[in-house]
Structure formats: structure tokens, C-alpha cells
Amino acid sequence: MSQPGAIALNSWIAYRKPNPQARLRLFCFPYAGTGASIFRTWSDGLPEHVEVCPVQLPGRGTRLMESPFTQLSPLVQALAEALAPLLDKPFAFFGHSLGALVGFELARQLRRQSGVQPNCLFVSADPGAANSAATPAHPCAARRASSWKNCVA
């Protein structure tokens, strides 16, 4: 089997709708147990200047037959190598739960390794079953539009 970073870019990014006019690429990292398909419709609800790039991890979705990573560090290094060709314009990371950790660690790795970093890092998580009834589904909904404007230079 080849090195994880050597896997073709199109296997890491699924459901992407390339947008040459995009001013920002949003890389979306799914939570544990799901794949990039969770983000397949996000581009329909975001500003036109945002190109959504759902990240497909090995062992999930279209890469189900590949061995999943069992440690964070090798996954982050493979992602840094694989996503490098798409970091040619401003970019942001969004991750939910485990995806938030992956996005955070990837941002740190990119900064250390090549001096680049996302314009924004968006993280989310569920407050847990005990608190879910009292928490609105999207507490930041009113701030979304201004958040995206702040990510684009």
C-alpha cells in the first residue's frame, strides 16, 4: 500500500464543486463515524465566494475500503501533504467534534511546517445528551454571515 500522503487529492476531497472565482476555500472535517457526505450540500447555503471542500478520511464514505488512521499525528501529516495544492488561496477550516481536533492540529502543523495558516478555524461540538434539550441547534446562526465576511481578506 502506498504512503497515505501519496493518495490522490481527489480521494481526500469529496463532493467538491470547484469554483475558480472563490475567494475562500472551506475545508470541512467530519465528526468520528461519518464521512464527507455530511457536508455535500453546504455549498448551497454559503456565499458564492466560498468553495466548500469536504474532507474524506480513509475508512469512511468513498474510502471505506482503505485502512483508517489510528493516530492523529500521521493523519495530520498526510492531510498537510495532500491538501497543499489547494492552499493557493485564502482558506478556512471547519470541524465538528473529532473533526474540530483534526482541523486544529492541521492548522498547527501547516503553520509549523510551511508558515501558512487558515484565515479562520471554526469548531463545533454537541454539548452532550444531558444538555441537548436546553441548547438551540445553531446558537451562532445570527452571526454566520458576518463570520464569513471576516474570513476573506
Mean pLDDT value across the chain: 85
| Residue range 91-106, pLDDT digits in tens | 999 999 999 999 999 9
Count of helix runs (H) and strand runs (E) in the chain? 5, 4
Residue 79: phi, psi to the nearest 5? -65, -40
Q: Which three cell numbers stand for residue 127?
A: 454539548
Which runs of consecutive H residues, i.e. helices, occur in 8-143?
A: 9-12, 42-45, 72-83, 98-114
What's the CATH number where 59 sits? 3.40.50.1820
C-alpha closest to that of 108 among 141, 77, 145: 77
Domain count within the chain = 1
How many angstroms separate the Cα of 75 from the Cα of each of 67, 122, 135, 146, 152?
12, 19, 32, 32, 27
Q: Over 70: is that where the pLDDT of 148 sits?
A: no
**Which of the residues 43, 73, 97, 147 is marked catalytic?**
97
Distance of alpha carbon 41 from its chain centroid, rounded?
Answer: 14
Tens digits of per-residue pLDDT, 6-18? 445 578 999 888 8
Backbone angles phi, psi at 15, to 5 degrees: 60, 25
pTM check: above 0.85: no
Domain that holds residue 68: 4-151
2 catalytic? Reply is no
